[in-house]
């Protein structure tokens, strides 16, 4: 009895999908079958999109976000305040901040967060480039807007220490109770944080 061997091109496609984060054998197989069986147009579209993105998408020389120009539109905009530099983990975080319409400064995108166990150290989050960028005399304040996860907090702590040691003004997004939520349903560590960072009403 001969055992069944899938075509080599199918195996190769499954292997390629497995390089995506969080995608194992089963999902990769499902993706490959889906494209080959039900959506060959989609497969061709993804092929072209990968090719275009590899050719055209680079990192902004100034803020490190994804862009198809040497320096992104945001960094070039004359309407943004060059005195405020907001440090985020990803372009997705940057978009979230933009959508609040409450930040008019510039950004630096780390493209990650410190995670020693995954081999992501200061080099991988472009720490030297951030230092050089933050040393620009136009920058009055660096706002650390990494996530409030363990790794995001550790990254903010590390960046804060290093930047302050160079005499740069550093701040961190406030942690606290989410707007609209009831204390009863907020976790204890958030409430503890909100207590520690409580503001006297005179501050407003």
What gap in Å lies between CA 170 and CA 159, rounded to an integer?
9
For position 74 contacting its own copies by CB under 8 A, the verdict is: yes
Q: How far is the CB of 17 from its own copies (least distance, A)?
A: 7
Token pair for 56 = 């055209």
Nearer residue to its own copies within complex by CB, 110 or 170:
110
What lies within 8 Å, CB to CB, of 84 at 6+ separation is: 103, 104, 105, 106, 139, 140, 141, 143
Nearer residue to its own copies within complex by CB, 100 or 200:
100
Q: Which one among 83, 112, 122, 160 touches its own copies, defined by CB under 8 A?
A: 112
For position 117 contacting its own copies by CB under 8 A, the verdict is: no
For position 123 contacting its own copies by CB under 8 A, the verdict is: no
Burial 39-64 (b: 16+ CB within 10 A, else e): eeeebeeeeeeeeeeeeeeebbebbb
Nearer residue to its own copies within complex by CB, 28 or 170:
28
Nearer residue to its own copies within complex by CB, 78 or 137:
78
Beta-sheet strand order (sheet of 170-172): 105-109, 81-88, 141-144, 170-172
Within residues 6-45, the interface with its own copies by CB under 8 A covers 6-10, 12-13, 15-17, 19-22, 27, 29-37, 39-40, 42-45
Q: Which one among 24, 50, 121, 195 touches its own copies, defined by CB under 8 A?
A: 50
Residues in the chain: 204
For position 197 contacting its own copies by CB under 8 A, the verdict is: no
What gap in Å lies between CA 82 and CA 74, rounded to an integer?
11
What gap in Å lies between CA 191 and CA 71, rounded to an integer?
41
Nearer residue to its own copies within complex by CB, 29 or 193:
29
Using CB under 8 A as the criterion, which residues of the chain lie in contact with its own copies when the complex forms? 1-10, 12-13, 15-17, 19-22, 27, 29-37, 39-40, 42-57, 65-68, 72-74, 77, 79-80, 90-92, 94-95, 98, 101, 104, 111-112
């Amino acid at each position: 009895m001969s055992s069944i061997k899938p075509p080599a091109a199918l195996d190769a496609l499954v292997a390629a999908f497995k390089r995506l984060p969080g995608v194992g054998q089963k999902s990769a197989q499902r993706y490959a079958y889906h494209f080959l069986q039900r959506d060959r147009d989609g497969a061709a579209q993804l092929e072209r999109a990968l090719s275009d993105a590899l050719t055209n998408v680079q990192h902004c020389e100034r803020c490190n976000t994804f862009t198809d120009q040497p320096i992104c539109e945001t960094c070039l905009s004359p309407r943004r305040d060059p005195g405020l530099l907001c440090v985020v983990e990803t372009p997705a975080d940057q978009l979230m901040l933009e959508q609040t319409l409450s930040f008019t400064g510039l950004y630096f995108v780390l493209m990650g967060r410190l995670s020693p166990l995954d081999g992501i150290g200061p080099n991988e989050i472009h720490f030297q480039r951030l230092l050089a960028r933050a040393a620009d005399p136009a920058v009055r304040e660096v706002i650390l807007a990494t996530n409030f996860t363990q790794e995001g907090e550790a990254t903010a702590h590390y960046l804060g220490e290093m930047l302050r040691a160079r005499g740069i003004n550093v701040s961190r997004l406030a942690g606290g109770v989410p707007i609209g939520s009831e204390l009863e349903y907020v976790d204890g560590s958030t409430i503890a944080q909100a207590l520690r960072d409580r503001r006297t009403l005179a501050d407003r």
